[in-house]
Amino acid sequence: MKNLKFLSKSLPLFVFSSFLLFSLDSTLQAESKKGKGVKKLEIATFAGGCFWCMEPPYDKLPGVEKITVGYIGGTKVNPSYEEVSSGSTGHTEAIQLEYDPDLISFEKLVEVFWKNINPTQSNGQFYDMGSQYRTGIFYHSDEQKKIAEESKKKLEKTGKFKEPIATEITKASVFYPAEDYHQKYYKKKPDHYKRYSIGSGRVEYKKKVWGDE
């Protein structure tokens, strides 16, 4: 304030006014940049069998900020991998995405989901059998539910599947992140991941149904 009083006395009025306008404009631009820098992320949760295999398709998509593998849909609090894999907790392996809806839509995320699973298999995924490997879309809003249901109907009409779509669309419950060694497993253990993903039949199935899409 002292500096402004000094300037107001020593500078011509039009110069002082220009100085004030410049200072105000600079402040507003700085505040505007701060506001633009804050991303409003949304959450999407999908279960597609082994969660190792569901990370890579999303990891390369612009707008997907973070992927966490974990467990959802069960009753036990904070279950371990051993407990979930035994099929005793009611959970299924899943991935949870944090994404920027300005860069990628939920519709697109659902589309990628369908193209990386066998949606007609109700007892697991590929050679991983049991409810802990069941497929599902766990919606976080009414809008996500609507989009998922419409996408499922659209998938049924493609004629690609002789059997009915078994993937469930249910409201998201508590999601528990899996142990650290499961996160980004395909990067930590690329050789083992590659053998598993091919050996499970997932890679062959995707190519048979979707080709190079």
Residues known to be catalytic:
50
Distance CA(155)–CA(89), nearest Å, equals 30
The whole-angstrom distance between residue 150's C-alpha and the CA centroid of its chain comes to: 19
- Among all chains, which residue has been given the structure tokens 């589309």? 111
Residue 68 half-sphere exposure toward CB, CA atoms < 13 A:
15
Are the beta carbons of 182 and 52 closer than 8 angstroms? yes
Interacting residues of 183 by C-beta distance below 8 A, sequence separation 6+:
68, 69, 177
DSSP assignment letter at 92:
E
Distance CA(137)–CA(94), nearest Å, equals 9
Are the beta carbons of 48 and 112 closer than 8 angstroms? no
Where are the alpha helices (H) located in 48-105, listed in sequence order? 55-59, 81-85
Structure tokens that stand for 59 in this block: 């990891």
